[in-house]
A and B are shown apart, each in its own frame.
Chain A
Amino acid sequence: MKNSALGRRIIACPYYVWAAIFIIVPLIMMVYYSITNPVGEFTIDNFLSLGKYSKAFLLSITYAVISTIITFLIAYPLSYAMTKLKISSQRMILMMVIFPMWMNFLIRTYSWISILANTGIINNFLVSLGFEPLKLINTPGAIILGMVYDFLPYMVLPIYTAMSKIDTSLLEASDDLGCNGWQKLKKVIFPLTLPGVVSGITMVFVPSVSTFYISQKLGGNKTMLIGDAIEYLFNIGPDHYNVASTLSLVLMVLILISMAIMNRFTDETDEGVII
């Protein structure tokens, strides 16, 4: 037994090296930057200066919560409907959900600009029908649309996986015990798909709360999200690395806290459904 444990450890070696170089070292650097000033002296000024970013934090969290809720509201019924179809149709829809992920994230976001722009596809169509053009791009709605579109697959996949794993005899048992459709959803299907829901929410919320590109391209430069702030600070020069690191650290802690809260819901079930 000891030998095989050792063997396993040796096989895992590349992973440890990888983790050390790309996860542990950057983390240490981030923490180091966040508690020092540009000349390398220890300071807590970075943390004290975060106050002016509170609006960005709040906005990021608000947008992330809204887009997570919307992706959930789309993904859950979609997954449920999918499991009612033939296997071949299920694969087809799953393919369509995954397909956009094959394209570059930036290109996908850019394509929404050409759809939503003032002289974009939608507005050209409206104008050709004789309507007034709508203000679509550079609105909060456009940012949320971009987030929902980009992150939807991360919600659909875990929920669909959890949903399709439900044994049909459990659904029959709930029919048998007197559940109507709604009770069956509430008492059996939802609890059984909860681990998938939690994975989905985590996988959508985390990138949403830290995104910067979507807000810049679809929101104009009016909305400063926390991701935008971090990117901006890193771009203007090494003197601002410290505050940027502090922002990143705080954001990371916020994400960890929200994940811990989410995971409380699935404490009971030992196997998470992450693909």
Chain B
Amino acid sequence: MRQNENIVSLKNISVAFDGETVLDDINLDIRNKEFITLLGPSGCGKTTTLRIIAGFVEPDKGDVLFDDNKINGVPAHKRQVNTIFQRYALFPHLNVYENVAFGLRVKKTPEKELDLKVREMLKLVNLTGLEKRKIDTLSGGQQQRVAIARAIANNPKVLLLDEPLAALDLKLRKDMQTELKKIQQQLGITFIFVTHDQEEALSMSDRVVVMDNGKIQQVGTPKDIYNEPKNAFVADFIGESNILDGVMIDDRLAEFSGKKFECLDSGFEKNEPVDVVVRPEDVDIVPLSKGMLEGVVTSITFLGVHYEIIVDIGGFKWMIQTTDEQFVGDKVGLYIEPDAIHIMKKSEYSGKYGDYSSYSEEIDHLSDVEEDEN
């Protein structure tokens, strides 16, 4: 099979639970051997999409293709995919060894082959020596590893991961991210990963699928998604961004905040209203005389690597990340390079994401660990 052939395809998938639309005409091709992440806030439909591929949810409309064969109606136990569940779903009545051996025993694998495979898997996830341990005596990280070993022991062509790292603490999560990525490359199989953590998505994935409201907002490499967000939702959800109302005066010339700026985007109609994205790290603080825009610093947060400062420009609060210390009340000039400006077409999300005037609340909101229970 060629590297880029599609292993799973979703065609016009729609699902509603109790009359409420969960997925709305989803089309997605997942390539063989890629690490693809479904990213979005709670209730965006990412877990439902995963469960459709696993066979736990039947779509109301549309087709699921696996290796170009339609698998609608094929029960979960007959699909060549395995899942790592959000809370691991390890069998409490079995020890580590038997949990990992579970799928192989169901398939009536000969004892010798089974033993080899289980030991190989335990070695892969660094759990050798814990074979006889009961599940409830393991730490969260160890349980996570058992869940991985149990799923991949069955040689699935596709591994589905439903927010597998959500329950781990930050340090462990970072380690497991690296490890998962390593395992994926080592096994050479497709990983479909679900998360609401954008950093996780960007750092691990070959491609990211950003979802909201049961729809796919954008599919692309992490770089594409970050640098070229398709709409205000993607720009806001992935990283920090200043999203401004603007007008595309001409190719490579945009107007916002009352000034005209050179940019690299083209292909819009003359004087088309657009959304403009400027990432906080792409704005330079310069002396007033050299600034393209000027504003007043209204708040400063020291984050170690840099300062996050809020600058009021004509009533719109910008977020700017800088390594130079500023003080509240300072008048500063801002300089924006043409390649730091990204122009997006207006969408249903335009105007939904305001400025950073209510910034502190937003931090609280973002740091809530959300759980996706569809």
Contacts and interface: CB of A to CB of B under 8 A. Distances in A.
A176 B92 CA distance: 17
B298 to A, nearest CB: 47
Nearest to B86: A169
Given A169-B87, A170-B89, A178-B78, 19 more contacts: A169-B85, A169-B86, A169-B89, A172-B56, A172-B83, A173-B85, A173-B89, A173-B90, A174-B91, A176-B83, A177-B77, A177-B102, A177-B150, A177-B151, A178-B107, A179-B106, A187-B102, A187-B105, A187-B106
A191 to B, nearest CB: 4
A175 interface: yes
Contact of B76 (A167, A175, A268, A269): A175
B90 to A, nearest CB: 8
Contacts of B107: 178
Interface string A158-198: 00000000010110111111111001000110011010000
B103 interface: yes
Contacts of A192: 92-93
Interface in A247-275: 268-269
A242 B85 CA distance: 63
A269 B106 CA distance: 23
A188 B103 CA distance: 12
B91 A188 contact: yes
Interface string B24-45: 0000000000000000000000
29 contacts: A167-B89, A169-B86, A169-B87, A170-B89, A170-B91, A172-B85, A172-B89, A173-B83, A173-B85, A174-B91, A174-B102, A175-B77, A176-B54, A176-B82, A177-B77, A177-B82, A177-B106, A177-B150, A177-B151, A177-B154, A178-B78, A178-B103, A178-B107, A178-B154, A179-B106, A187-B106, A188-B91, A191-B93, A268-B93
Interface residues of B, number: 26
A175 B56 contact: yes
Interface in A235-255: none
Contacts of B102: 174, 177, 187
A197 to B, nearest CB: 13
A169 B88 CA distance: 8
Contacts of B314: none
Contacts, number: 61
Contacts of B103: 177-178
B55 interface: yes
B351 interface: no
A24 to B, nearest CB: 36
B257 to A, nearest CB: 50
B132 to A, nearest CB: 13
Interface of A: 167, 169-170, 172-180, 183, 187-188, 191-192, 194, 268-269
A79 B105 CA distance: 27
B280 to A, nearest CB: 39
Interface string B47-81: 00000001110000000000000000001111001
Contact of A173 (B75, B91, B93): B91
Contacts of B83: 172-173, 176
A191 B91 CA distance: 10
B91 A176 contact: no
Contacts of A187: 102, 105-106
A194 B91 CA distance: 14
A-B residue pairs, 3 tightest by C-beta: A177-B103, A169-B89, A173-B89
A180 B106 CA distance: 9
Interface string B302-331: 000000000000000000000000000000
A76 to B, nearest CB: 17
A188 B150 CA distance: 15
A167 B86 CA distance: 12
B82 A269 contact: no
Nearest to A169: B89
A191 B102 CA distance: 14
A176 B76 contact: yes
A174 B105 CA distance: 12
Contacts of A188: 91
A183 B128 CA distance: 28
Nearest to A269: B93
Interface string B144-157: 00000011001000
A170 B82 CA distance: 13
A193 to B, nearest CB: 10
Interface centre among B83, B87, B93, B107 (most CB of A within 10 A): B93
A139 to B, nearest CB: 41
A175 B92 contact: no
A2 B284 CA distance: 65
A177 B77 CA distance: 6
Nearest to B81: A176
B94 to A, nearest CB: 8
A169 B91 CA distance: 10
Contacts of B106: 177-179, 183, 187
Contacts of A167: 87, 89
Chain A CB within 10 A, most for which of B54, B89, B92: B89
A187 B87 CA distance: 20
A235 to B, nearest CB: 48
A177 B89 CA distance: 12
Nearest to A167: B89
B76 A172 contact: yes
A178 B77 contact: yes
A178 B81 CA distance: 10
Contacts of B85: 169, 172-173
Among B78, B92, B107, find the residue whose CB has the most chain A CB atoms closer than 10 A: B92
